[in-house]
Amino acid sequence: MYYDKLDDFPPDFLWGAASAAYQIEGAYDEDGKGPSIWDVYAHQPGNTFNGTTGDVAIDHYHHMKEDVALMAKMGLKAYRFSVAWARVIPDGDGAVNEAGLDFYRRLIRELKQNGIEPVLTLYHWDLPQALQDKYGGWESREVIPAFAKYCRTLFHAFKDDVKYWVTFNEQNVFTGLGYRWGNHPPKVQDVRRMFAANHIVNLANATAIKLFHELVPNGLIGPSFGYGPVYPLTGAPTDVLAAVNADDFNNNWWLDVYCRGEYPYFMAKTLTRMGLMPDVTDADRALLKQAHPDFLGINYYHGGTVQQNRLEKPVAEAAKKDFSATDPYLMQPKADQAQSPEVPMFNAVANPYLKKTDWGWEIDPVGFRVGLRQVYEKYRLPLFVTENGLGAVDELADGEVDDQYRIDYLAAHLRTMKEAITDGVELIGYCAWSFTDLLSWLNGYRKRYGFVYVDRDDDGPKQLKRIPKKSFYWYQQIIAQNGAQI
């Protein structure tokens, strides 16, 4: 559908930008903070790119006021950040660290005083290490009450000041990288354990949402899902079937649980037959049915293209595949491994029509519209784009960063988002990834996403000077005109 005139963005549209605690805060052991699984993992040699860590990151912990002042200058309507669980409850389920809580209290106050809506993410991958050591992390149901306690602490502390809450950031990504590909903590390569841990996160998500609705009746809460639409490589019916499979495997396995309170039927049957289905009790089923998110957060970077999986080995044999050659510094497995070998339902392939970023991520603004349409049609929940952005190498020249390529990327995505709104999708906001440059989990500091350049690299923090890029001033104009120029 092509329109000669697009609908306006809603008048109260939340123009925002996002971040995550581990990627920006630094101060990893200050003011009583406990270690997270990322602190420990990044300190082990060989786990991260060039040995980069979030020990200092961009030192937002000590530059908070300066960063919020830049947000205010830009005119941001919303800022999405995450709370570091181990800063608030250092050992995960014990006493609350008031100094840690106070950092977020000050941040939220600063945001509100500048007219910026806080969007608080409860979990962006930095589990307290103590819970990993004590219980085995997300593989244990013991973590669910610990998460509930942490959530209750934050709900009580911020229920009057924070309206928008995100439960889990990209559950599909952190369980996949942590338990399937083994390039995030806890570095496990076992798809059965991935599905089991993922089920426990589902229960924690549902527990948090239920609790939220009891304690924060005026707030809104939902998970942020790393979503990508799936295309068949060709019109061959076998490829189309592979795309149906991949949509179940990559998307519906999470989205149906969040939005319908149950696992997708065909996929559950397949996993049961393969012995990969997690243990789901009647009480689990009842809990999942009771939790209803108020909105669905969508993180969109790219979709995926698939063809029929020609792997003919039986599943058990395929599961023994050696993943040791998987490049730990890429968010995705290498091309010849980008398939679902343990569950031979499809093969992921490159899309011949799409260009890629310097890090090999396909650039697909139309897929954004496709995805928003598909998800809204299926679940009819308001959507909140909680991440979208371009990772690139930015050069500082004469004190300025000319990131026209980022402007082009974001403008194309905003355009298709506006088309999706015109189609009828209910969108409440858009948080670009990211506000400042920050640590890329597995790519260090060279891969930059921010509107604000931060003077540091993989070797060290340098001056940590904040320098607005060209895209900063562009987004400032977009916000000022509520996207009318798109």
Catalytic residues: 170, 387
Taking CB atoms, the residue at the shortest distance from ligand BG6 is: 440
CA distance 196 to 140: 9
Q: What are phi and psi of 16, to 5 degrees?
A: -140, -175
| Minimum gap (Å) between residue 300 Cβ and ligand BG6 | 10
Q: Which is nearer to ligand BG6, 302 or 418 (CB)?
A: 302
CA distance 52 to 390: 20
CA distances from 473 to 393, 470, 478 (A): 19, 6, 9
Using CB under 6 A as the binding criterion, the count of chain residues that bind ligand BG6 stands at 15
Q: Which is nearer to ligand BG6, 387 or 394 (CB)?
A: 387
Among 185, 228, 391, 444, binds ligand BG6 (CB under 6 A): 391
Q: Of the listed pieces 90-98, 158-166, 230-238, 442-450, which binds ligand BG6 according to CB under 6 A?
A: 442-450
Using CB under 6 A as the binding rule, whether residue 20 contacts ligand BG6 is answered as: yes
Any idea what the Cα angle at residue 401 is, between residues 437 and 24, rounded to 5°?
10
Using alpha carbons, select from 291, 282, 273, 119 the residue that is nearest to residue 201.
291
CA distance 458 to 444: 6
Sheet hosting strand 304-307, strand order edge to edge: 230-232, 304-307, 347-349
Q: Which is nearer to ligand BG6, 224 or 340 (CB)?
A: 224
Using CB under 6 A as the binding rule, whether residue 299 contacts ligand BG6 is answered as: yes
Using CB under 6 A as the binding rule, whether residue 441 contacts ligand BG6 is answered as: yes
Using alpha carbons, select from 27, 32, 115, 11 the residue that is nearest to residue 71.
115
Maximal CA-CA distance, the chain: 63
> The tokens of 223 are what?
């998970």
Q: Which is nearer to ligand BG6, 384 or 433 (CB)?
A: 433
Three-state SS sequence of 164-219 = EEEEEECHHHHHHHHHCCCCCCCCCCCHHHHHHHHHHHHHHHHHHHHHHHHHCCCC
Using CB under 6 A as the binding rule, whether residue 440 contacts ligand BG6 is answered as: yes
Q: Which is nearer to ligand BG6, 164 or 441 (CB)?
A: 441
Q: Of the listed pieces 167-175, 196-204, 282-290, 368-376, which binds ligand BG6 according to CB under 6 A?
A: 167-175
Q: Which is nearer to ligand BG6, 274 or 410 (CB)?
A: 410
Using CB under 6 A as the binding rule, whether residue 331 contacts ligand BG6 is answered as: yes
Burial bucket for residue 294 (CB in 10 Å: 0-12, 13-18, 19+): middle
Burial bucket for residue 86 (CB in 10 Å: 0-12, 13-18, 19+): buried
| Minimum gap (Å) between residue 339 Cβ and ligand BG6 | 20
Using CB under 6 A as the binding rule, whether residue 226 contacts ligand BG6 is answered as: yes
Q: Which is nearer to ligand BG6, 406 or 418 (CB)?
A: 406
| Minimum gap (Å) between residue 169 Cβ and ligand BG6 | 5
Q: Are 79 and 17 spatial neighbours (Cβ–Cβ below 8 Å)?
A: yes
Q: Considering only residues 420-439, where is the footprint of ligand BG6 by CB under 6 A?
A: 433
Among 443, 450, 466, 475, binds ligand BG6 (CB under 6 A): 443
Among 169, 183, 251, 388, binds ligand BG6 (CB under 6 A): 169
| Cis upstream peptide for 224 (omega within 30°) | no
CA distance 92 to 100: 13
Among 77, 302, 447, 448, binds ligand BG6 (CB under 6 A): 447
Q: Considering only residues 307-326, where is the footprint of ligand BG6 by CB under 6 A?
A: none
| Minimum gap (Å) between residue 344 Cβ and ligand BG6 | 26
Q: Considering only residues 50-79, where is the footprint of ligand BG6 by CB under 6 A?
A: none
Using alpha carbons, select from 71, 84, 224 the residue that is nearest to residue 154.
84
Using CB under 6 A as the binding rule, whether residue 170 contacts ligand BG6 is answered as: yes
Q: Which is nearer to ligand BG6, 197 or 288 (CB)?
A: 197
Sign of CA dihedral 365, 369, 374, 375: positive
Among 387, 394, 403, 437, binds ligand BG6 (CB under 6 A): 387
Query: Where along the sequence are the contacts to ligand BG6 (CB under 6 A)?
Result: 20, 169-170, 173, 226, 299, 331, 387, 391, 433, 440-443, 447
